[in-house]
């Protein structure tokens, strides 16, 4: 380890602490902050962004990176750190400090207006802030640069190397494989009766207690984190000792809360499992959004929506919701948790239709960033695409274009990582099963430790040392591909519906 590398790590430590503080302020804004604090919070977050950007783009940092690149002795951690820092520095130096500061300030304001617009079902409240955020995202793409498509510059922020040329054929292939399954299910005359779900209300207090119990059972350490409620579920916090996740509750049905809990717990387990010997180092961070979503989607779907999990958790469902479960069997719970139907809400969609929700957002984002769609036309364009892809149309803006928080903080390019997460999770689960045996058998007896330990070793503890695609190859023996997910989905639909 050379002198320049050590000096660079001191700089990165301070930048990491700034990021941790920003993370806590962002969590507080979503969960605890009083409404009148919004303007001052925007200034706080803007200052932190400016300070972080100024430090990252200092000439001294560039000189240290160049010196460290010639020093690195072959350690994979050092190589990973240098690779990530170089990429971050090159991107940061392309963005004016004033732009970074203003974007952070506007993000804070935009989240507040989105929250109000969503609550009041009034797109006009969010319209101007969204228009500015779209414009700033177009500017950002211009600053970062791209070869073929402005949207590529934004996609690369969330998954290294991701671009339209890769995603277009991937999404088309997934659409071609999933639409026939969805159509076959929709044409069935005899489907499982899931009406029992709507016979009785699902008390919020019981959902909260059940969410806590499920998260703890699959491995979340509440001495190093907490659960809260927010408008849109998310996982945040500052470091592996302070991981904070949220969900939301609806007394008309329980699955949004419970599977939101399992999704965010999956993210949170990843954060708690990061390598502690790499604290404050870029290589110790989680490895891109696709890998992060693989952990959330794995616990939510491959584990949480399995028949084995429904059988194990069934006594808990009965304990927390006795009136709702009179005459209900574990198989009925499994069928209801996996009901395949065209729906409006992405986070509550079944596994067969979920990727179509992502594709809609991907197509819309491409048009927005390329200037082919303007903000005033967005709500109707959203509804039109839902009708085209899923055959449904939203009766409200809240259930339509306002349902996701992502655009309020400028996360254009994020949504495709959910689909990558689906693909990665199926591939990782397949590899894990080869090593640890039948995961269904383990889940059926409530033993989540073997699977979590495997993920800790092969995913969490590896941080960002490798590029995401190389990380998946190291863990599974193959570069990422959709085969495992396509096979998993076909098998599941066959088990549920016999098609």
DSSP assignment of 299-335: IIIIITTSHHHHHHHHHHHHHH-TTTTTT--HHHHHH
Inside any domain, residue 127: yes
| pLDDT tens for the chain, residues 1 to 499 | 799 999 999 999 999 999 999 999 999 999 999 999 999 999 999 999 999 999 999 999 999 999 999 987 779 999 999 999 999 999 999 999 999 999 999 999 999 999 999 999 999 999 999 999 999 999 999 999 999 999 999 999 999 999 999 999 999 999 999 999 999 999 999 999 999 999 999 999 999 999 999 999 999 999 999 999 999 999 999 999 999 999 999 999 999 999 999 999 999 999 999 999 999 999 999 999 999 999 999 999 999 999 999 999 999 999 999 999 999 999 999 999 999 999 999 999 999 999 999 999 999 999 999 999 999 999 999 999 999 999 999 999 999 999 999 999 999 999 999 999 999 999 999 999 999 999 999 999 999 999 999 999 999 999 999 999 999 999 999 999 999 999 999 999 999 999 9
**CB-hemisphere CA count at 13 Å for 231?**
24
Phi, then psi, of 225 in degrees rounded to 5? 175, 180
Query: Per the structure, how many domains does the chain have?
Result: 2
On whether both 97 and 197 belong to a single domain, the answer is no
On whether both 299 and 347 belong to a single domain, the answer is yes
Beta strand pairing status for 242-247 and 235-239? antiparallel
C-alpha–C-alpha distance, residues 491 and 181, integer Å: 11
DSSP one-letter string for 109-172: HHHHHHHHHHHHT-HHHHHHHHHHHHHHHHHHHHHH--SS-HHHHHHHHHSTT--HHHHHHHHH
Is 264 among the catalytic positions? Answer: yes
Maximum C-alpha span of the chain: 71
Residue 1 pLDDT: 76
Give pTM, 2 decimals: 0.94
Phi, then psi, of 161 in degrees rounded to 5? 85, 0
On whether both 415 and 291 belong to a single domain, the answer is yes
C-alpha–C-alpha distance, residues 301 and 486, integer Å: 14
On whether both 140 and 239 belong to a single domain, the answer is no
Inside any domain, residue 438: yes
On whether both 125 and 171 belong to a single domain, the answer is no
Among residues 116, 145, 174, the one where a domain terminates is 145
Residue 179 pLDDT: 94
Among residues 84, 118, 145, the one where a domain terminates is 145
The count of residues in the chain is: 499
On whether both 249 and 376 belong to a single domain, the answer is yes
Among residues 92, 113, 145, the one where a domain terminates is 145
CA-derived radius of gyration, the chain: 22
Which of 264, 271, 293, 365 is flagged as catalytic?
A: 264
On whether both 280 and 193 belong to a single domain, the answer is yes
User: In the numeric block, which tokens belong to residue 211?
Assistant: 């969410």
Inside any domain, residue 151: no
Residue 73 pLDDT: 75
Q: Which residues of 267-293 are buried (b: 16+ CB within 10 A; e: fewer)?
A: bbbbbbbbbeebebbbbbbbbbbbbbb
User: In the numeric block, which tokens belong to residue 444?
Assistant: 């059926």
Residue 181 pLDDT: 94
Closest-CA residue to 103 (of 68, 62, 76, 135): 135
On whether both 307 and 214 belong to a single domain, the answer is yes
Inside any domain, residue 150: no
The SS3 assignment for 246 reads: strand
Residue 71 pLDDT: 84
User: In the numeric block, which tokens belong to residue 12?
Assistant: 């990165």
CATH number at residue 333: 1.10.1370.30
On whether both 446 and 371 belong to a single domain, the answer is yes
Closest-CA residue to 266 (of 238, 313, 315, 299): 299
C-alpha–C-alpha distance, residues 370 and 439, integer Å: 44
User: Strand order in 235-239's β-sheet?
Assistant: 225-229, 242-247, 235-239
The SS3 assignment for 235 reads: strand
On whether both 173 and 94 belong to a single domain, the answer is no
Ramachandran quadrant class, 413 (left: phi over 0; alpha: psi -120 to 50; beta: rest)? left
- The residue segments making up the domain with residue 330 are 164-497
On whether both 297 and 429 belong to a single domain, the answer is yes
Inside any domain, residue 174: yes
User: In the numeric block, which tokens belong to residue 461?
Assistant: 């503890």
Inside any domain, residue 156: no
Residues 269 and 220 sit within 8 Å (Cβ to Cβ): yes
Residue 244's DSSP bridge partners are: 226, 236
On whether both 87 and 223 belong to a single domain, the answer is no
Residue 280's DSSP bridge partners are: none
Inside any domain, residue 152: no
Residues 424 and 296 sit within 8 Å (Cβ to Cβ): no
Phi, then psi, of 227 in degrees rounded to 5? -115, 140
Inside any domain, residue 154: no
């Amino acid at each position: 380890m050379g002198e320049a590398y050590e000096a660079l790590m001191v700089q990165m430590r301070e930048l990491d602490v700034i990021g941790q503080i920003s993370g806590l302020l962002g969590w507080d804004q979503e969960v605890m902050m009083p409404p009148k604090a919004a303007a001052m919070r925007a200034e706080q977050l803007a200052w932190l962004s400016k300070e972080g950007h100024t430090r990252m783009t200092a000439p001294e940092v560039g000189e240290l990176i160049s010196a460290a690149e010639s020093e690195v002795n072959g350690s994979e951690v050092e190589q990973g750190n240098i690779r990530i820092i170089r990429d971050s520095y090159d991107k940061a130096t392309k963005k004016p400090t004033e732009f970074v500061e203003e974007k952070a300030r506007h993000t804070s304001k935009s989240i507040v207006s989105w929250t109000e617009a969503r609550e009041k079902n009034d797109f006009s409240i969010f319209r101007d802030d969204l228009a500015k955020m779209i414009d700033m995202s177009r500017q950002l793409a211009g600053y970062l640069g791209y070869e073929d498509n402005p949207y590529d510059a934004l996609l690369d922020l969330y998954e290294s190397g991701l671009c339209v040329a890769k995603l277009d054929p991937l999404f088309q292939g997934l659409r071609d494989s999933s639409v026939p399954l969805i159509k076959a299910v929709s044409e069935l005359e005899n489907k499982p009766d899931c009406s029992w779900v709507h016979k009785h209300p699902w008390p919020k207090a019981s959902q909260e207690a059940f969410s806590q119990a499920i998260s703890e059972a699959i491995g979340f350490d509440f001495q190093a984190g907490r659960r809260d409620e927010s408008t849109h579920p998310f996982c945040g916090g500052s470091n592996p000792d302070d991981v904070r996740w949220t969900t939301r509750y609806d007394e008309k049905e329980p699955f949004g809360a419970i599977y939101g809990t399992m999704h965010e717990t999956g993210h949170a387990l990843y954060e708690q499992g990061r390598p502690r010997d790499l604290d404050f180092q870029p290589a110790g961070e989680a490895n891109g959004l696709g890998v992060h979503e693989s952990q959330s989607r794995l616990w939510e779907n491959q584990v949480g929506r399995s028949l084995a999990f429904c059988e194990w958790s069934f006594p808990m469902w009965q304990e927390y919701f006795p009136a709702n479960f009179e005459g209900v069997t574990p198989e009925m719970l499994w069928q209801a948790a996996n009901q395949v139907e065209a729906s409006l809400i992405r986070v509550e969609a079944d596994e067969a239709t979920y990727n179509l929700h992502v594709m809609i957002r991907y197509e819309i984002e491409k048009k927005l960033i390329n200037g082919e769609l303007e903000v005033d036309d967005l709500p109707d364009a959203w509804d039109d695409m839902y009708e085209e892809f899923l055959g449904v149309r939203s009766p409200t803006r809240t259930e339509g274009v306002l349902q996701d928080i992502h655009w309020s903080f400028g996360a254009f390019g994020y949504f495709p990582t959910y689909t990558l997460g689906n693909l990665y999770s199926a591939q990782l689960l397949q590899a894990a099963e080869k090593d640890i045996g039948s995961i269904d058998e383990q889940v059926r007896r409530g033993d989540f430790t073997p699977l979590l330990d495997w993920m800790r070793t092969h995913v969490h503890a590896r941080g960002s040392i490798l590029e995401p695609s190389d990380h998946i190859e190291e863990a599974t023996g193959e570069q990422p591909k959709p085969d495992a997910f396509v096979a998993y989905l076909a098998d599941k639909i066959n088990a549920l519906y016999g098609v």
